[in-house]
Structure 1
Amino acid sequence: MAFLFNTTRNFSLYTIPAAWAIAFAPHAYAETQSKVFDNRSPRTYAQTLEKDQNHRQRGGTPFPNALFISNTLQTKARILRAEAAQTNCFENLALLATTVLAGNLAGLPAATLNTLSGGYLLSRVLYNFVYINNTSKGLASLRSVGFLAGIGQIFALFIKSANVLREKAANLL
């Protein structure tokens, strides 16, 4: 169990594929929640759901050709939020990858790389969970905190890398 807390070994590069998996997870979840997902045209999934009128309020009668497994407006909204969470995660993936690579190039300590890149992963898990299950302004604020925490860790890693690389460049002159 001690190996899980070993900060002397650099695991930061592994956070890049882990971040990809965290980014994909909301989409995988959304796929299981409706019958409308078509792998031949996956990018139209959210648009198809937005246009769908085959849903019912809680306790109402479903339409015979309902597209949702749990046929409620809440499910539709949760699926759309899951797709939005996935999009946001993939939009930020390049920024994470760039900063992790910059940190490794700069030779930052393994503890710094692991802490900041691992913290980013945790913030994205929180972000996804809250985004998908968000039903209030309070949870929306918590989602924003999760987002900003992740971006803050990326920026910290980038700034630390830039400081080290700036010093190395100055020493070359």
Structure 2
Amino acid sequence: MSFIGLNLTNNLSLYAVPVAWVAAMAPHFYAISVYNAERAPGTAEWDNRDPRGNIGKVKEAKLSPNAQGKFIRAEAAQENAFQNLPLFAAAVLAGNFARLSPSVLNTTSALYLFFRVAYTIVYINNTSPFLANFRSVTFLAGVATWMSLFIRAGNKLL
């Protein structure tokens, strides 16, 4: 089977790890764009020499409550993504070590990426209890994908 020139019977799961890293970085770049676009006149632009120090300057920048919330949530989404990335990468490696089928590895990896992107979008735009709960659902669905790889790999290696 092929899709856009890719043979889907090939194992593409390892490519999902760098894609997940890029997806993890994206909220940080979004946060910087919010900061620079919304900061008060006369306040400093984002200084890449001290990225962690900049986070403390958000209040000084006098961002609107909406922009400040998006900035803080985008940074939190980035941190969460990087906390989950090693577990996803380890699960992909375990699945490959156990020689799970390419379709299982590809589908599960794609689902993880889908849920991480959905989680990030919902997290950044979260302003209601419903969206907060939906964020948790997308988070847990993403966790379930990499956990399923560990379980399938373990079952195959028994």
Specify the alignment match of 2:84 in structure 1. 92
Supply the AA of the counterpart residue of 1:44.
Answer: G
Match status 1:47 vs 2:56:
yes
Q: Deviation digits for residues 117-159 of structure 1, max 9, x if unmatched?
A: 1100000000000000000010000100010000001100110
Specify the alignment match of 2:41 in structure 1. Answer: none
Q: Tell me the percent identity.
A: 48
**Aligned pairs (5 A) from 1:70-81:** 71-81=63-73
2:42 is the alignment partner of 1:33 = no
The root-mean-square deviation of aligned C-alpha atoms, in Å, is 1.6
Measure how far apart 1:41 and its partner are.
1.1
Q: Does 1:141 align with 2:133?
A: yes
Question: In the alignment, is residue 157 of structure 1 matched against residue 149 of structure 2?
Answer: yes
The residue number in structure 2 matching 1:3 is 3
Structure 1 stretches lacking a partner, 5+ long: 56-70, 167-173
**C-alpha distance in 2, partners of 1:53/1:47?**
8
Provide the TM-score with structure 2 as the length reference. 0.88
Between the aligned partners of 1:129 and 1:118, the Cα distance in structure 2 is 17
Deviations 1:39-94 (A, max 9, x none): 11112232222xx1553xxxxxxxxxxxxxxx411001100000000000000000
Name the SS of the counterpart of 1:33 in structure 2: helix
- Deviation string 1:86-110 (CA, Å, 9 cap, x unpaired) is 0000000000100000100100000
Q: Secondary structure at the match of 1:151?
A: helix
Structure 2 distance, partners of 1:113, 1:103, is 7
Letter in 1 for 2:57: T
Q: Which amino acid aligns with 1:22?
A: A
In the other structure, the counterpart of 2:39 is none
- What is the rounded CA distance, in whole Å, between the counterparts of 2:8 and 2:149 in structure 1? 16
Equivalent in 107, 113, 129 of residue 121 of structure 2: 129
Q: Which runs of 5+ in 2 are unaligned?
A: 37-44
The 3-state SS of whatever aligns with 1:39 is coil
